[in-house]
Chains A and B, each alone.
Chain A
Amino acid sequence: MMEISHDLLVYVAKTHGLFYLVGFSILTLIYCYWPSNKKRFDKAAKSVLNDEDGPCL
């Protein structure tokens, strides 16, 4: 079994951890600014203003 040493954790955090953070941030931004998502987001933002009628049956 590979030993989980202090040095190994530092190495993972400083390399893969960094790329994970940057990659994840880029993916989130792509999702947010993907042009075809805009309509859906606008609709969702407005839809909460009128939702008291009851569930859709």
Chain B
Amino acid sequence: MVLNLTRSERQGAMIVAVLLSLVGLVMTLFGADGYFSTHGFIIMLAGMGTVFLVGRGYDAPEPSDERLAHYYDDPVKAGVILAMFWAVFAMFVGDWVAWLLAYPDMTFDAAWASFGRLRPVHTTGVIFGFGGNALIATSFYVMQRTCRARLPDQLSPWFVILGYNLFCILSVSGYFMGITQSKEYAEAEWYADIWLVVVWVVYFLLYLRTLQRRNEPHIYVANWYYLAFIVVVAMLHIVNNLALPVSWFGAKSYTIYSGVQDAMIQWWYGHNAVAFFLTSGFLGMMYYFLPKRANRPIFSYRLSIISFWGITFSYIWVGSHHLHYTALPHWVQTLGVTFSIILLVPSWASAGNALLTLNGAWDKVRDDATLRFMMVAAVFYGLTTFEGSFMAIRPVNSLSHYTDWTVAHVHAGTLGWVSMISYGAFYAMVPWIWKQKKMFSPRLVEVHFWLSVAGTFIYVFAMWNSGIIQGLMWRTYNDVGTLSYSFIDSMVAMHPYYIARAFGGFLFLLGACVGLYNIWKTMKVRTPAMVSDPSRPLPVAGVAAGSVEAGE
């Protein structure tokens, strides 16, 4: 990777790495508490590791200008591998906490192994580690192709991808130690948050610079979705994480909001993390990879634009539906309900657009597990957005809130939609970026597909059942007017469902392991295509050749 950097880029990388090491060193030496010093040490290690890596290739000859005739896919490759590692790690932790709920004694009396610490490790690992890396990697791929322009430089994409993973490592290691600012999906403390802002600004500028170099007059719609993801996540992250650190050298900080304002800001953030992190960016993925894999243009380009503005405009307002029956003013709750229902229109427009694109190509869906991943993703997207709008209605919410129904809903979205579309995009993209005709084993893609589908169904059905039972048990009264069931009764009733859920999660995790193995082997395969004339762009196995591979 260093060999492909120019001299000035190597110098830039060295300066950033040295600065990072110094920041880490200062944090380690002057840290007011062990948490802060430990994180300083991790930052210093990251910086020094980079110094070593860049130093080793520093004096190597510069790459030739021939590279400019190709897209720059090295950071995409790194992003794919990192995403799959995070998937396996974080889904493992997820399955662990699932078993922990079924058998609560499994904490070994260790603080780090308690549910409260492992749970954010799971959520951060899957959302930011797996999802974030998948988004960054595919966005680098898509922006270059749709703009027909190479990334403007070779250093900033590496800064984004590695800097982002440093943020993920700081977050996750912090949760194990007990650091948290107690905001769901934003548990990382202030210094990690500031670092993410720096990385994110570079990411945003990189995207704009690539768009500026585009050779296509019109910006393809997938880029709009990716850009909405980048811009809105920046806005959400900054506003929700505004906090006052107790000291400049301590890990702890306090949010500047209080009471119901804090709750509203948190759920404005929380729901838009779902909207712009877990939806908008992945829709960008879908609008590029699905037409490409099916070798058919999107059913309606106009509809894709209408749904873009619909989603961008409506999602921002729905966060308050997380705070029904609270101190939040009633009209704000109603506003959230109203927009949640309006949201059904653009959401189903996207899901329908995807499925109608496949109309006429169902034979490909049958034969090609990669395309089938994307098809199932679109179906789950439609299902989950319908369910979400439904659950946002106040009386429905009174049954569903605080129960496992919410967990079922989230996992229908994350397993069924986000993961499936990512796997579909990866299986399409991996052979293309590693210049292979097909995946190492199309049969393993098929295995991964069925493990994922089975795992998702078992998981979601188990949680739907347990959620509704919980909700009903908590509101059943006897003749005297007191509750029929104690809370512990409802927990006993959940036990079989928790085992089923953990089993479903295990299947999904197994699928991720199969996927990582298959991608790893594809990366390592040496085929004649790799040793062809380097002066010409390599003939890439396009959709026509690749679309039947998984059915072979």
Binding site for B on A (CB under 8 A): 6, 10, 13, 21, 24-25, 28-29, 31-33, 40-57
Contacts and interface: CB of A to CB of B under 8 A. Distances in A.
Contacts of A28: 305-306, 309-310
A6 B264 CA distance: 15
A55 B215 contact: yes
Contacts of A21: 313
B145 A40 contact: no
B70 A52 contact: no
B235 interface: no
A49 B305 contact: no
Contact of B218 (A29, A43, A53): A43
B148 A51 contact: yes
A21 B313 CA distance: 8
A44 B148 contact: no
B432 interface: yes
Contacts of A32: 302, 305-306
Contacts of B329: 6
B220 A44 contact: yes
19 contacts: A6-B329, A10-B331, A28-B305, A28-B306, A41-B305, A42-B301, A44-B216, A44-B220, A45-B291, A47-B216, A48-B292, A48-B297, A49-B295, A52-B145, A54-B537, A55-B68, A55-B71, A55-B215, A57-B68
B69 interface: yes
B302 A33 contact: yes
Interface in B198-222: 215-218, 220-222
A35 to B, nearest CB: 12
Interface of B: 68-71, 144-146, 148-150, 215-218, 220-222, 288, 291-292, 295-298, 301-302, 305-306, 309-310, 313, 329, 331, 335, 432, 537, 540, 542-543
A31 B302 CA distance: 9
Given A49-B297, A55-B70, 11 more contacts: A25-B309, A28-B310, A32-B302, A47-B146, A48-B146, A48-B291, A54-B71, A55-B69, A55-B144, A55-B148, A56-B215
Contacts of B70: 54-55
Contact of A56 (B148, B221, B222, B540): B148
A23 to B, nearest CB: 11
A46 B297 CA distance: 5
B360 to A, nearest CB: 15
A42 B218 CA distance: 11
A42 B68 CA distance: 29
A21 B310 CA distance: 10
Contact of A41 (B302, B310, B542): B302
Nearest to A43: B218
A48 B335 CA distance: 38
Contact of B301 (A6, A44, A53): A44
| A-B interface, 7 closest residue pairs, ranked by CB to CB distance from nearest | A45-B297, A56-B215, A41-B301, A51-B145, A28-B309, A45-B301, A54-B537
Contacts of B217: 40
Contacts of B310: 28
A54 B221 CA distance: 20
A49 B221 contact: no
B292 A49 contact: yes
Nearest to B331: A10
Contacts of A6: 329
A56 B146 contact: no
B429 to A, nearest CB: 11
Contacts of A56: 148-149, 215
